[in-house]
Amino acid sequence: MKILAIDTSCDETAAAVTEDVKVLSNIIWSQASAHAKFGGVMPSLAQRMHEERIDWVIERALKSSKTKIEDVYAIAVTIGPGLSIALGVGVNRAKEIAKKYNKKLIAVNHLEGHVLSPLANNQPLITNIKYPALGLVVSGKNTILVKIDQIGKYETLATTVDDALGEALDKAARMLGLGYPGGYIIEKFSRLGDPKKYHLPIPLSGQEARQIFSYSGIKTSMMRLVEKQKPLTKEKIYNLAAAFQDIAFEHLIRVVKFIVRNSKYQFHDFLIGGGVAANVQLRMRMRKLCREFNLKAHFPYSNKLYGDNAAMIGVAGHFKTKRQEFIVPDKIDRNPKTKL
């Protein structure tokens, strides 16, 4: 059964057509360049740009997949978490389409989409995955580790108490004058720098048993370090970027390691998604961790599935369809602070 999926959770206007877990199209219109001059996402601008592009991305998704709206079984849409004013654009459009064409409507948690993104175009994994499994989402607004008892049933093992990992990387880039979005630039510059040239404290070092992620402290330390190193040269920027990325990832790995090592459960599979998971260095570290604990690491097959996109919403919608978890159009609403 084909699903038309829509995601307007932040600053990407996205639509996709999926069939089971197969991705037939995945269209993303990024607003990043428009928000760059503000150093972050401007909610009112995001809403306006979503409204301008939502019909275009839906039409492109249908056309690229050679699908007519009449052939779509259901509409899946992100209801949260995310920017409330942005979420509303996608939710309202999905509601209108469902009513007009008498289609089933599916409310999808954006975080579940990221958790299940490695399942896209990976039918064998669905049948071979052993439960409980682990799921990790590392993105601009979320850093969360969950136990997957089965698809659709999750237990939070650790989450951020302040900044998310992606948010911290963006803020570090801003301190270095590198613009927005900063994660990609930090990764690029880190390859040219020495992570050991500068010292930054590992967040909550020795406190991994608290099972939380925290990036506000390292952000403050980075700010002080940058001020001390001014005027900044290219070499200094490369080294500062490398130092920040190295410690930010080290904190993540330490917390995950503690939880896996001390869990009463035997995990076999680890699903990893979110925009920061596209970072090559982080994937290398996660694979090393998985080898240490005899875990199978599963990442999305395409770079377009790491950041915000609608194909992952379609995949999550597929499993909700199997469980007959539909919602009446008049009752669907955005929930910007929804939990997984």
pLDDT band at 206 (very low <50, low <70, confident <90, very high): very high
The model carries a pTM of 0.96
Q: In this predicted structure, what is the pLDDT of residue 39? A: 78
- Name every residue whose Cβ is closer than 8 Å to that of residue 235 and which is 6 or more positions away in sequence: 193
In the predicted model, is pLDDT for residue 50 greater than 80? yes
Q: What is the mean pLDDT of residues 175-191?
A: 93
Share the mean pLDDT of the chain.
96
Query: In DSSP terms, which residues pair with 109 in a beta bridge?
Result: 80
pLDDT band at 34 (very low <50, low <70, confident <90, very high): confident
Decide if 252 contacts 138 (C-beta within 8 A).
yes
Q: What is the mean pLDDT of residues 245-250?
A: 98
In the predicted model, is pLDDT for residue 277 greater than 90? yes
In the predicted model, is pLDDT for residue 147 greater than 90? yes
Handedness of CA 125, 137, 157, 254 (dihedral sign): positive
Q: Which two tokens stand for residue 27?
A: 């269209």
The HSE-up count of residue 304 (CA atoms within 13 Å, CB side) is 18
Q: In this predicted structure, what is the pLDDT of residue 40? A: 80
Domains and CATH numbers, the chain: 2-116+303-331 (3.30.420.40), 129-298 (3.30.420.40)
154 by DSSP, 3-state: which? Answer: strand
Angstrom distance (rounded) from CA 24 to CA 124: 18
Q: What is the tens place of the pLDDT at every residue in 73-131?
A: 999 999 999 999 999 999 999 999 999 999 999 999 999 999 999 999 999 999 999 99
Q: In this predicted structure, what is the pLDDT of residue 36? A: 74
Q: At which residue do the structure tokens 């948690």 appear?
A: 109
The HSE-up count of residue 65 (CA atoms within 13 Å, CB side) is 27
In the predicted model, is pLDDT for residue 41 greater than 90? no
Q: What is the mean pLDDT of residues 279-308?
A: 97
Q: Give alpha helix (H) positions in the chain.
A: 32-36, 43-64, 84-101, 110-116, 123-128, 165-175, 183-190, 216-229, 234-262, 280-292, 311-322
Q: Give alpha helix (H) positions in 263-305.
A: 280-292
In the predicted model, is pLDDT for residue 38 greater than 80? no
Q: What is the mean pLDDT of residues 169-194?
A: 94
**C-alpha distance across the termini of the chain, in Å:** 25
pLDDT band at 243 (very low <50, low <70, confident <90, very high): very high
